[in-house]
Amino acid sequence: MSNVLTTASGKVSLFAKWFAGIGLLIMTAIIAVQVFARYVLNDSPAWGEQAALLLMIWYVFIAAAAGVREGFHIRISVFADGLRPGLRHPILLIAHLVVVAFGIAMAIYGVELTRETWQHVIPTLGISRGYAYIPIALSGVLITGFAIEQFVAELRSKEVTKLWN
């Protein structure tokens, strides 16, 4: 069962990285169109800035979740790396539990924020403002799952296999 979950987790992480990369490319294209239209055509589309911002919110949060699994998220490892192995192990377990708690909070409050802003419309896009907050909740769920995977691996004194180095 553990191998199935690890494989599934790896596939979700890979999808998240591809999703974020494609989102970055699309956002870059939108910005290029926006700049071209503004400076060459003197008529920039009204939707460009908000669309790029919405895409950026999505890909940043999804990439951040993948970062928890792949170990490229922001963390201070100097302290833990400097400890002897007997102390390092419990510190890493606590750190993973803190990330789990953070992911749970993101999921809960992301859903609440999405629900509270669903009636608000992004004028230039004509869609709900809630779409900008869905990735907070989604990222929270992914972060929670990936951090639990890291916690279990640390408990077993193993390392989560990274998809890329």
Question: What is the chain's alpha carbon radius of gyration, rounded to the nearest angstrom?
Answer: 19
83 within domain boundaries: yes
Q: Give the tens place of pLDDT for each residue, 3-61.
A: 777 788 888 888 898 999 999 999 999 999 999 998 888 888 889 889 999 999 999 99
pTM to 2 decimals? 0.84
162 within domain boundaries: no
34 within domain boundaries: yes
29 within domain boundaries: yes
Phi, psi of 163 (to 5 degrees): -80, -25
161 within domain boundaries: no
Q: How far apart are CA 55 and CA 23, in angstroms?
A: 6
Q: Which structural domain range is residue 47 located in?
A: 2-155
